[in-house]
Amino acid sequence: MKKSYKDIKIHLKTILIFMVLLVSCQPSEKPTLSPEISPQEREWLTKFFSDIMIFERGIYTLWGAHKPMTILPMADYSEKELKARYESLSEEEKKKNNECFKVEVIDGYAIYEAWKKWEQISHRFPMKRFMLFKQESDDPHVFSVIFVDIVKTASVIQDNYEAFREAIGFDFHPMEIVLQMNQKDSVFLENLNSYLYGLLFGFGKTNSHTFHWKYFDHPKSCDEFCKNIKSKSSNEQLNGEIKFTIDNLLLPAFASFNEFDDVVDQYKNERKKIKEIYKDRNFLDLTLQKLIE
């Protein structure tokens, strides 16, 4: 039986009404933080999320549209252990790695200790759209904390599926593989090259490709050309001691290979909006509320 034009119009109208009702019936209230945060927890949580969101610019993953993932490297060596490792290096290695062998403990706060505390209370702040998890390394003292916007990450993988599939070596569904990233047996992140990491960290296709070609993947015949490819920092030149706050929020750090870089401009727009969002608001409360909404 053929449907008339009138029947089709009625059918489409019914679908549209259903879609409008579905959206309008979604709960509009934002979740509240529960249970209450103690003064002691508030102190270290503020520093902890300042490290992730401001110092490492995870705030662009939290609020923005162009940075799917943020990574925060950590090490839980004691000062004595680091000193022993430092002394085992050659003089040349010591010069190159001097800053890497410092334990930063400020007013009794250390980022790796804060992570251990977060692991104990994270169940109180269930995330739906985001993941914040630990990735182990071959060194038991060294690990990374990875902050992921699940939807943005899956979308980037979908848009560049063939490149990711070639790196992973098998077919997969982007959403499923992202949701499995926090599992110990996940091999997804282990098989990526610098180009794919650049896409996931929000550096843009041109910057990610060019960085990968320049430093990791070009024929011998391109050595001289790649050596002369110039880049600049995504951030303005900084002078003196910098205090990392919302007011002094930097852009995500990456090598930019264009004089006028659309990716940098996008982040500048996002930074302006983020500052407006946090104006006269409590940093920790607003950040945690966004994480669990």
- Residue 21: pLDDT band (50, 70, 90) is very low
Average pLDDT rounded to a whole number, residues 60-74? 95
Residue closest to 37 by CA, chosen among 52, 53, 48, 27: 48
Q: What does the pLDDT look like over 134-157, one tens digit per residue? A: 998 888 778 899 999 999 999 999
DSSP string, 145-186: EEEEEHHHHHHHHHHTHHHHHHHH-S---HHHHHHTTTSTT-
Structure tokens at 163: 């490149």
What pLDDT, on a 0 to 100 scale, did the predictor assign at position 106?
45
What pLDDT, on a 0 to 100 scale, did the predictor assign at position 87?
78
Average pLDDT rounded to a whole number, residues 6-33? 50
Q: Is 77 helix (H, G, I), strand (E, B) or coil?
A: coil
- Residue 8: pLDDT band (50, 70, 90) is very low
Structure tokens at 87: 């002394």
Q: What does the pLDDT look like over 151-204, one tens digit per residue? A: 999 999 999 999 999 999 999 999 999 999 999 888 898 899 999 999 999 999
Instruction: Say if residue 28's pLDDT is above 90.
Output: no
What pLDDT, on a 0 to 100 scale, did the predictor assign at position 7?
52
What pLDDT, on a 0 to 100 scale, did the predictor assign at position 69?
97
Average pLDDT in the chain: 84
What is the rounded CA–CA span in Å between residue 260 and residue 258? 5
Boundaries of every domain in the chain: 34-292
Structure tokens at 204: 């843009």
Q: Is 229 helix (H, G, I), strand (E, B) or coil?
A: coil
H-type alpha helices, 98-244 = 111-121, 150-159, 161-168, 174-179, 194-200, 205-215, 223-227
φ/ψ of residue 286, rounded to 5 = -70, -40
Q: Is 57 helix (H, G, I), strand (E, B) or coil?
A: coil
168: Cβ–Cβ under 8 A, 6 or more apart, which residues? 177, 187, 188, 191
